[in-house]
Structure 1
Amino acid sequence: MAAVSTDRLKEVVQLLWEGVYEASFRGKSRGRFAITREQLRVALKVERLHTSTVRALQDRALRKGLVIIDLDDLFACVETNVVRGYRRPPADLFTRLCDQYVKATEDEADTSDEEIEEDDDDA
């Protein structure tokens, strides 16, 4: 099966951005939306939706200002400026949480390594 053309990817990004994101529906004049895998497959005119195709579409959309998030059964689409406006944790909170996580995973890794070595010996 042939790969999705660059032109088709451009068309679908334009459809998602100008056709859907800017459209008025479900009580909103414009904005974020979600589409199903089937809807995306139909838009791309493919029988099967491959990971490489989704990634190529995500890359092209991101360059145009649209984030497409693969949530397995559907794709969430939101403007990059909206995502850039999300709150960020303070540096001290993030550092503290990461330090706690690293410490916890180091303790687990010591135990996990022993278990894995035992499993390898049984093989």
Structure 2
Amino acid sequence: MVIPASDVAARLAELYEQPFAGKPRGRFRISQKYLRQMAGVRRLYSDDISALTRALYELGYVFIDLDSFYVILSQKAFTSYRRVNEGVLAE
């Protein structure tokens, strides 16, 4: 049974908040195999990944495709990153 992207995104967001692998919560990676299993499909297509990316973004998470696995991060993790400005580019 195919699971909607919004439901898969909600489950991934729940995993972000759960303790596992020695951490109380936070970023994690998931293999294609387990993501396919969560989605109830044998193959993930680019439109499936796009839908999941949008659904997770709406929940406050970033979904990154790294070919053999996917990473889920909180959008808040990026707010403290250094910003590039004109001075840096001019150097």
**TM-score under structure 1 length normalisation:** 0.67
Q: Distance in 1 between matches of 2:37 and 2:80?
A: 32
Q: Distance in 1 between matches of 2:76 and 2:86?
A: 22
Runs of 4+ in structure 1 displaced over 4 angstroms?
none
**TM-score under structure 2 length normalisation:** 0.89
**Partner residue, 1:41:** 36
Indicate the SS of the match to 2:29: strand
Consecutive unaligned residues of structure 1, counting only runs of 5 or more, are 98-123
| 2:34 partner amino acid | Q
Q: Which has the higher strand share?
A: 2
Q: Distance in 2 between matches of 1:33 and 1:16?
A: 10
Q: Which has the higher helix share?
A: 1
Consecutive unaligned residues of structure 2, counting only runs of 5 or more, are none
Q: Distance in 2 between matches of 1:45 and 1:27?
A: 28
Q: Percent of aligned pairs with the same residue?
A: 33
1:84 aligns with 2:86: no
**Partner residue, 1:96:** 90
